[in-house]
Structures are given as structure tokens and as C-alpha cells.
Structure 1
């Protein structure tokens, strides 16, 4: 045992070793492996459900024509990037804060139970009812009362961050809807869709209608953040699948039966988002007391401080991807249509790694709240190793599969040719993307929001310069080379923080 402790101490003195810790156990279904799988698998499925629904939209719209496909591609890119500015800080902060509050609450509850037992009370382990020792002799006389207590509904959780997230999410959703509807034309113009372009009219139609669903999107994702903090990713999965199945069913009905075209696709998507939001709210109110006792209880200051840091970060991320889409749009409708298909596949498959990021964030936030650094180290190592394996598997699958699947999205020969040009980049970057996403979750779990913000701003500046240079000289290919460099820098930033044992990871050097 002593030798094992010495070895662990030596490994910890070099933070870089954390990436190789227990590497042979990467697929082991021990306590940690099972907890990661329980959180990551449903989270990954839920995260990919909405992009898959967007891919279905893309496939249906592609049957109308390449102009409509390109127009909707720009609108989806714009809507998603504006949404991320609000969603990402809200969901990430909510997940960490809820996980911390829930962990502390459980520790406090366990301590109270121990104190009660030490003071001469007996715990009915099945019904979780404390029965004072001096009342046990009278148990037969009060059997009815005890039965009523045991059968009473469990007390709802009091989690301040849950109430705060819903209020902030609702306000942000309404603000986003108004902003996108009123500024649709200039925003699309910024994206390269000028008023005299064939894409202008269908792009505005889709964007304005889809923006009506922004409040539902923000609220549903805020609630998903709460459930993730509870390490419950199954409930968001069920809600998301229900909503996206409704979207897939309604798409052809509104688009082709009612002959609404791109408007039909937007309406179907909005209906699905409100369905998801209603399901999640119904489940959440059964578990959490959402009515705050007072304004101080909501802790808006804590949310705003850390949310602002992540807002800086997400603006940097958003600008990079939006600029790439805008650059593709300026090349023409054919290039934009191909870029839209490649980007949707690129993001959808990469988001599978976000399931691991969610698991890492939730488990690490709880571990840091308990100051259980050994468990934090093991969790970080395992999710990063799994992320690399997942990325390599996705690279192989996409490298072969996307060549044969391009015709699902369009029949235009020129668009299919350009998709073929983008496939090597989409496939080869999967391991890099996976690690970048998982590193994000790991650092968020450590509440390292300041580093996440400042490092991403630096990465964005370098990536934007690269994108402008390469796109002007190499066109479509240059955009994808720049995106590859961008994701590589993101992954390196996460690697640097943990590998050097700085910030909240300073314990790795002790």
C-alpha cells in the first residue's frame, strides 16, 4: 500500500502524467466508468438530437433546390451562433453550480443524519424517516402516524441555481427572439446574403419564423443544465427525442403537403422546441422547488460574474464559426451549400464528445465541491482518454461513410463535388474536436471560467487572422484548413492548463 502511495505521489509531481493515468482501464466499467457512461451516453444522444433534426431539415430543403438549401444554411448558422452566445454561458454555469449545490446539500444531509443517529435516533433506511429512540417503545401506538410520514411525498430540492437559470433563460430567450426578428435583414447581409441575392427572401423567412422558438430553446437548455447538474441526462434525452421526432414528422407535412417550403421547416422546428420545453418543465417542477423565497436567494451576482466570462468565450467561438460561414456564403450559393452540409456533419459528430464533456463537468464539479482531488484526477484522465478514442473512431467512420452519404443532402453535382473536397477535413479533425470539447467540460467542472474565457479569446484572434489569409488565397479549402487550425489551438489551450498543473489543477504538482 505504501509503495502504491509513493508511486501516486511521484506521478502527481508531474501533472502531464494525468493524461496517462490508468490508461489500461479506459474501457473498464468500474464505479467511475459506470458513472461516466450513465451520464455521457444519454447526454451525447440528447446533444446530437437537435443537430440531427437540423440535418433532416437540410435534407428535406435540399430537395427544393440549392438556393433554398444555401439560404437555410446561412439562417441556421446565424440562429445557432446567436443562440450560443446566450445558451453556452447559461448552461455551463448552471451545470457546475447545480452540481456543486447538490453535492454540498447531500454532504450536509449525511452529516445531519449522522448527528441524529449519534444523539440516539434510529433511521428507517427504507423510508428515510428518523424515529427518536425514546419513541420506539410507543411505536405500536403511533403506527398510523408513522405510516403517514413514510408515505408522504418526498421534499423537493431547494437549488437556488435552478430558479436563477429559468429566470435568466426566459429573459434571454425573449431578447434573442426580438433581436433576430427585427435585425434579420442586416444580420443576413453581414453573413454575405445581400438584399439582391436569390437567397435573401427564403433566408429571411426561415430566420424570422424560427426565431419565434428562441424563448423555448433558451428555457429548455437552461433546464437541461439543471438536470445535468443532478447527473440526470436521461430526462433531457427523452424530452429532446420527443420534440425532434415531432419535428421530423411535421417537416414534410408543412413543407410539401401544405406547400409552405422553407417556412414549413421553420414552423415544424419551433413547435418541436416548445414541446421539449413543456416536457422538461413538467418534470423539473416535480423535483425542485422553483419558487424563490427572496431575491438574494437567486444569487444573480454569481451567475452574472461567471456568465460574463463565458460570454466572452462564446462570442470568440461564435465569431470564428460565423465568419467561416460568412466567408463561404461570399464564395457563392454552391460553396455555401457544400459548406453547410459539411459543417452540420462536422458539428453533429463532434457533439458526441460533448456527452463526455457533460459527464466530466458534472462529476468534477461535485468532486471539487467535496475537495475529493483523487476522484477529480481519475475523472479527468478517463474522460480525456475516452474522448481521444471516440474521435479516432469517428474519423474512420466519416472518412468512409460521408463519401457515400453526400447524395442524401443534395443532387446537385457541383455541391456534391465540393462536399467531397471537405470530407477529409471533416473526418481528420474528429480526434482534435473531441479532445477540445472534453477539455472544455473538464475545465468547466473545475469552475476555471476565467482561463476558459481568456485562452479562447487568444485562440480566436489567431484563428480569425488565419481564416482571412487562407480563405482569400485558397477559397473553400482555405476555410477548412483555418477551421482545423482553430480546433487544434482550442485543444492545445485545454491541454496546457492541466498539463502544467496551474489554476485549480495546482494539486497535481503536490
Structure 2
């Protein structure tokens, strides 16, 4: 792979790291070894990431048939649930993916070295036995060809696959970070469930849902019931992080699709047949999340030992140290979207209902670029572990170009299609009018969103929060979307700046 990419830019060469943004731009659709690997990881990862947002869109469509108040109430509850979940999810999944990819890469290298040692020892044994046989027979050494010589044709790869040589494809692996992620995910899920169930009403009031608001009761019911699935959500996402570390995005895809199809089937049954309304939507979602967790756990047990040799093998301190930095960034970054939902809720149920539809479409389509980010993260983790900086640069530039193209395509599709698709979610004329105001922002920000998700840049929340307060009060619903556009623009620019200046993990570009 190293031979397929150019040398990475260095300070001594006089080239600026910013040039990696344009490196290999002509090869954006090239299905070479790198392109194929990105596609094999990113495509199922994007489908897996899209499965849940699509299920949420279906939930939104069903709930929208009940009425705008219920649609707005569920929107506030989802914003709260997602804010609390993402505080744990993104650091947990990102750290898990990187740690598992690194440990797996190291184990593969160690197994290859052990395999080579085993072959050499086997060859030496054959050589010694041949010498003893030659001496007994009395054949002159010059007329013999020993099995370990180049002329003998001895090839280790022709050995029987049932020998004792390590075979990583069929071994159950010892990955300490995998079990650590499951334990941490389960604990955080329980804490989240207890927090949201016990404090649902005051949290919703903080979000702008007043005591006399018609949104309060359905929002509280939905939030409390959906919070019962928090442990399953964090456990399933932790396991998805493990599979991503193995560069296996197909297994999470199957599990997520199975769970979300179940959710879509159960939604109308609980909501309309049993007449449970928004509570039925929450119950269907919780059942689907536990189904996803069970499927992933059964599959993971076939690949990883989930019982450590000792407690010391768990890596809680490593997770906490690395996850804390991500945690601070994620709190600030995700808080911007939650604050936007709060501002919309304070303007009434019509604004909140429109914001819920626009936000779900905005996030669902934007998360398609996150599939590229997953592929980039898995390949980069292995490349950094092997110090293959040429592959690092090639991967970063290729994923960036693909993300930009994806964002432009999504922008065109949403700009045209959402005008007609909005009626699927609601029939309310006032809500549809508010949605039409948000459509240009939902469509126009897709390229920025794609770059922001691919980069996952540093915290730019302070400026974004100030913009949200100022613009929402001065320009209402329109101002909220202007502020969110600024927020995503700053995230994308921060990512450009970080790589362009060679800071953080990209400091090797200046060495």
C-alpha cells in the first residue's frame, strides 16, 4: 500500500500540509486498493448509521398524523435524549473503535511474526533430520538439496492449515478494550435511564416546555419510556465500535436494520391499534434497541472473549483518560443542536413541530457522511499503529473528497425533494409553511455538514451558542437555522485548520 501513494509533505520539503486537501483529487472515484477498502467499510457503515435516523423519520411521520402538538412534544424529548446519549456515545464509540483497531492490528502483527518463527523452527527441524538421514546413508553433502534452501521449493504457505501455526481469521481474540467498552456502556446507560426518568419534568421545563404547555404531558411520557432503552442504546453502540475496530461494518448493519424494521412494524400497532399514541412509539423504539443489542452480543461472543483473565486487563483508566477530552468537545458540540431545539420549543408547538421534521431530515442525510468518517477512522487507526504515514495522508484526502461530493449530491436531492416530502410528516398548513423556511438551510448546508462529520473538528460551540441566542431572538425560526449553518461552517473550518496546520495527531506532517 505504501508504494501506491506519494510521500507525505514535510516541513523540510517546503510543502505546506494544507496541500493534502487537494492530493489525489482526480482519484476520488478510483477503485484502487484504498478506494475499495473505504467503500467496503463506509457503505455498510453509512447504511447502519442511516437505519436509526430513518426509523426516527418514520416515527416522526406516524406521530405527525396524530397532531402538531404531539409532533413537537416528541421533538423536544428526542432532543433531550440525544443530547444526554451523545455525551456518552461519541467518546465511547470513537475511543472503542480506535482502541480495538489498534489492538487488533498489533495482534495481527504479533501473530504474523509468531507464524514466521514457527515456519523457521519447522524448517530447521526438517533440515536437522535431513542431515542426520544423509549422514546415516553416506551421501556426500554437496550432492544434496536441504529442505530449507531456496532450491528446495519449500513454501510455508503450503503447510496444512490445521497445523499449530496461528490463524487469526479463526481465533477468538483477546481484546481487553472490547469488554471495557461494554462495561462502561452498560453503566452509563443505567445512569442515563435513572437521570432522565427521575428528572424528566424539570429537564423539559429547562428546554422551554412550560407547565401550562400542551406539549408537557406527551413529552414527559415519551422521554420517560424511551429512557428505559438507554442501556441497550449504549451497549449496542459500544459493540458497534468494537466491530468497526475490526473493520466489520456489515454485522452492525444487519443488527440495526433488524431492530429498526421491528420498530417500524410495531409503531402503528402500539400507536393506533392499542391507541397508546406517543407512548406506543417510545415502547416500539425500546423493544427495537434491545433486539439490536441481543443480536450484536451473540455475534460478538463468537469473535471476542468477553471474560478477562483478570480485572487488571480491563482498561478503564485508558478509556477515561482519552474519553474525557472527547467528552468535553462532544458536550459543547452537541449542545448547540439541543439549544436550537430549546429555542424552537420556546416559540411554540408549530415552530417546534417544523423544527423536528427539518432536524430529523438534516441529521439523517448528514450522517451519511459519517460512514466515510467510520472508514477513515478504522483505516487511520491501523495506519498510525503501523506508522504508515503515507497511507494516513492518502486516506484523509480521499475521504475528504468523497465527503464533499456526497454533500453536494445530497444538497441537490433535498433542495428539490423535500418540498414535496414535507407533507408526509404533517398536514398542518402552518407547520408546512415553517418547514418551507427551513428547507434551504437543510439542503444548502449538506456540503458543510459532510465536511464537519468527516473532520469531526474541535470545539467551536461558544461562537455558535452566542449566535443561537442572538439570532433566535431577533429572527425566530429563520435565525435558528442561520445559527446552525454558522455552527456547521465553523466545525468544517476548524477541521481544515487542524490538518492544515499539522496539529494534534497530524503533527507528523511537520516533522
**Deviation by residue 1:331-374 (Cα, 9 ceiling, x = unmatched):** 01000000000000000000000000000000000000000000
Aligned to 1:475: 476
1:149 deviates by: 6.9
Instruction: Name which of 283, 295, 302 aligns with 1:267.
Output: 283
Cross-structure match for 1:185: 201
Write the distance in 2 (CA, Å) between the matches of 1:85 and 1:7.
35
* TM-score, normalization by structure 1: 0.90
Cα distance in 2 between the residues matched to 1:133 and 1:64:
81
1:185-242 alpha-carbon deviations (Å, 9 max, x no partner): 0011111112211011111111111110001001000000000000000000000000
Q: Take 2:14 and 2:114, find their aligned partners in 1: how far apart are those partners?
A: 34
Give the distance between the partners of 2:506 and 2:226, measured in 1 at CA.
42
Which residue, 81, 84, 89 being the options, matches 1:82?
Answer: 84
Q: Is the 8 A contact 2:115 2:165 kept in 1?
A: no
Q: Distance in 2 between matches of 1:362 and 1:322?
A: 29
1:71 pairs with 2:73: yes
Equivalent residue, structure 2, for 1:168: 184
Q: Provide the residue aligned with 1:448 in structure 2.
A: none
Is contact 1:12-1:508 (8 Å) kept? no
- State the match for 2:449 in structure 1: 433
Question: Deviation of residue 507 (structure 1)?
Answer: 2.5
Aligned match of 2:230 = 214
Give, in angstroms, the shift of residue 179 of structure 1.
0.5
Between the aligned partners of 1:376 and 1:119, the Cα distance in structure 2 is: 36
CA contact (8 A) 1:166 1:222 kept: yes
In structure 1, the residue corresponding to 2:90 is in which secondary structure? helix
For the residues of structure 1 that align with 2:161 and 2:195, how far apart are their CA atoms? 56
2:83/2:338 contact within 8 Å kept:
yes
Alignment of 1:114 onto 2:116: yes
8 Å contact from structure 1 (residues 173, 218) kept in 2: yes
1:226 to 242, 251, 254: 242
What is the distance in 2 between the residues matched to 1:302 and 1:354? 25
Counterparts of 2:330 and 2:183, CA distance in 1:
21
1:260/1:387 Cα in 2 relative to 1: closer, same or farther (>3 Å)?
same
Counterpart CA distance in 2 for 1:213 and 1:229 is: 25
User: Would you say how many aligned residue pairs link Structure 1 and Structure 2?
Assistant: 479
Match of 1:392 among 389, 408, 419: 408
The offset of 1:132, in angstroms, is: 7.4
Runs (5+) with no aligned partner, structure 1: 123-130, 138-144, 441-451
Change (3 A) 1:233 1:7: closer
Alpha-carbon distance, 1:404 to partner:
0.7
The verdict on how the C-alpha distance between 1:151 and 1:380 changes in structure 2, with shifts beyond 3 A counting, is closer
SS in 1 for 2:411: helix
Aligned counterparts of 1:7 and 1:204: Cα–Cα separation in 2: 54
Matched, 1:370 2:386: yes
SS at match of 2:174: coil
C-alpha contact 2:177 2:314 (8 A) present in aligned 1: yes
Aligned to 1:460: 461
Counterparts of 1:69 and 1:361, CA distance in 2 = 36
Partner of 2:105: 103
Aligned residue in 1 for 2:17: 15
1:79-119 deviation digits (Å, cap 9, x = unpaired): 11111011111001000111111111111111112222233
Contact between 1:12 and 1:509, CA under 8 Å: does it hold in 2? no
Q: Displacement, 1:120?
A: 3.5
Residue 158 of structure 1: which of 169, 174, 188 is its match? 174
Paired position in structure 2 for 1:490: 491
Question: 1:11–1:17: 8 Å Cα contact kept in structure 2?
Answer: no
Corresponding residue of 2:137:
none
- Bigger-Rg structure (1/2): 2
The answer to whether the Cα contact below 8 Å between 1:13 and 1:509 also exists between their aligned partners in 2 is no
Pairing of 1:269-288 with structure 2 (within 5 A): 269-288=285-304
Contact 1:213 1:274 (8 Å CA) reproduced = yes
Cα deviations across residues 286-312 of structure 1 (Å, max 9, x unaligned)?
Answer: 000110111221111110011111110
One of 373, 376, 398 as aligned partner of 1:382: 398
Question: 1:383-427 CA distances to partner (integer Å, 9 max, x unpaired)?
Answer: 000000000000000000000100000000000011000000000
Give the Å deviation of 1:134. Answer: 7.2
Gap change, CA 1:203 and 1:6, over 3 Å in 2: closer
Indicate if the aligned counterparts of 2:18 and 2:500 stay in contact, CA closer than 8 A: yes
Local SS of the residue matching 1:236: helix
Q: CA deviation at 1:22?
A: 1.0
8 Å Cα contact 2:8/2:389 also seen in 1? no
Contact 2:369 2:450 in 1 (8 A): yes
C-alpha contact 1:82 1:318 (8 A) present in aligned 2: no
CA shift digits 1:458-502 (9 cap, x unpaired): x11111111111111000000000000011111111110111122
Equivalences for residues 127-138 of structure 1 within 5 A: none
Alpha-carbon distance in 1 for matches of 2:442, 2:263: 26
Find the residue that maps to 2:29 and give its secondary structure.
coil
Contact 1:342 1:422 in 2 (8 A): yes
2:360 alignment counterpart: 344
User: 1:505 aligns to what?
Assistant: 506
User: Could you tell me which of 414, 433, 439 is aligned with 1:417?
Assistant: 433
Change over 3 Å in CA distance of 1:410–1:112 after alignment to 2: same
2:285 is aligned with 1:293: no
Q: Mark the CA change 1:413 to 1:134 in structure 2 (over 3 Å): closer, same or farther.
A: farther
Decide whether aligned partners of structure 1 residues 474 and 104 sit closer, same or farther in structure 2, where only a CA change above 3 A counts. Answer: same
Aligned residue for 2:31?
29
